[in-house]
Amino acid sequence: MSDVQGQEHWTHKKTPDGDVRLFLWRKFAGRPDGKPAVLFVHGSSMASQPTFDLQVPGRPHSSVMDWFAERGFDCWCVDMEGYGRSDKRRDIYCDIANGADDLKAATDHIASIGGPTRFLTYGISSGALRAALFAQRHPERVARLALDAFVWTGEGAPTLAQRRQKLPQFIASKRRPIDRDFVRSIFARDHPDCAEPAVVEAFADAILALDDSMPNGTYIDMCSKLPVVDPAKITVPTVILRGQFDGIAAMDDLIEFFKRLPSPDKQFTVMNGISHASFQQKNYLMVYQILHAYFTQPAPVYTSDGH
C-alpha cells in the first residue's frame, strides 16, 4: 500500500551513567490516531528494522510492520541499547532486564507525544523474554502479549545446550562479533529448508548494515540465569507461538509455562514448517495471520471469576 509512512523517533533512557539515546521506528497508513498499536521487540542478534521492516524484492509483504499498517495498526519497534541505531557507548552486557527498561523508556516517549499507552506486544526469542518481563513489570501498558520462540527454564533446548559451551567466552566480553556466516547459521541450525536463501541474504545485508557485533547479555541470561520471568505474574492475555523445528523453544518447557499463566485468555500455537526466525521463513504469512487473529479477537461477552 503506497500510503504506509515511516517515522523516526528518538528518546532517552535515564541511567546512572547518564542518558542513553534510543531509536524508535513507527509505521502507519493514513493517520495513526486512535488505531490499535503494535510494539515489536527484537531478539539477541539483530536490531529492530531488519527484523520487522525487512524489504525483499519479489517477496510480498516482507515487512510485518507494513502488513499490519495496511490493516489499520499503528506499528512501533525500538532498537534496544547496544543494537542498531541506539547508543552503544556503555560498557555493559545489555541483558534482558536492561531491554525491559528500554521498552519502558520507549513507551514513555510514545505516550509523551500523544501516542497510545497500551500495546499489542510481540517479542521474538530474547525479545520475547524482554516483552514478557516488560508485561510482568507494566501490565497496564500491554493489551495483549505474543511470545514467539520463547524460552522459560531452557530445559530441553538443544540450541541453548550448545550455546552454553561458550558461556565463559560470552562472560569474558561485553560484545561478540557477527558476520554473514553467523546470520546464515541462525537458519541452518534447526531445519535449513524453512527459509529462502535470498531472504536470508537480504536479512544479513540489513543486519550487517547496522552492526558488526552484538551484546552478550541476553546470551548469558539464556544460558545461565533462566528463568528470568514468572508466568504467575504475567496477568495479561498471552499467546505463545512455537515453531515446529525451533531448537530454543522446547515444547515441554513452554507447556509448563503456559499452564501457569493466570489469564483465561491465552493460546498456544505450533507453527508448521517454522524454525526460529518466524518472519524470515517461507511460512511467514501464516505467522502474520496467527498474530492478527489474536490481536483482533473480540472481547468475550461472558466472563466469570469462578473456577
- Taking only the tens place, the pLDDT of each residue in 137-182 is 999 999 999 999 999 999 999 999 999 999 999 999 999 999 999 9
DSSP codes, 159-208: HHHHHHTTHHHHHH-SEEE--HHHHHHHHHTT-GGGS-HHHHHHHHHHHH
- Report the C-alpha gap between 307 and 301 in whole angstroms: 18
Model confidence pLDDT, tens digit, residues 246-291: 999 999 999 999 999 999 999 999 999 999 999 999 999 999 999 9
Higher local confidence (pLDDT), 307 or 252:
252
At the top level of CATH, which class does the domain 4-294 belong to? alpha beta
pLDDT-derived band at 306, boundaries 50, 70, 90? low
Side chain identity at 79, as an amino acid letter?
A: D
Given a cut of 70, whether residue 15 has pLDDT beyond it is yes
Please give the pLDDT value at position 307.
60
pTM of the model: 0.97
Q: How is the chain split into domains, by residue range?
A: 4-294
**Percent of the chain predicted with pLDDT > 90:** 98
Model confidence pLDDT, tens digit, residues 78-128: 999 999 999 999 999 999 999 999 999 999 999 999 999 999 999 999 999
Phi and psi (nearest 5°) for 146?
-120, 120
Q: Which of 253, 262, 267 is nearest to 231 (CA)?
A: 262
Please give the pLDDT value at position 304.
86
Model confidence pLDDT, tens digit, residues 209-229: 999 999 999 999 999 999 999
Given a cut of 80, whether residue 1 has pLDDT beyond it is no
Distances (CA, A) of 135 to 47, 189, 223, 293: 21, 30, 22, 20
Side chain identity at 195, as an amino acid letter?
A: A
**Percent of the chain predicted with pLDDT > 70:** 99
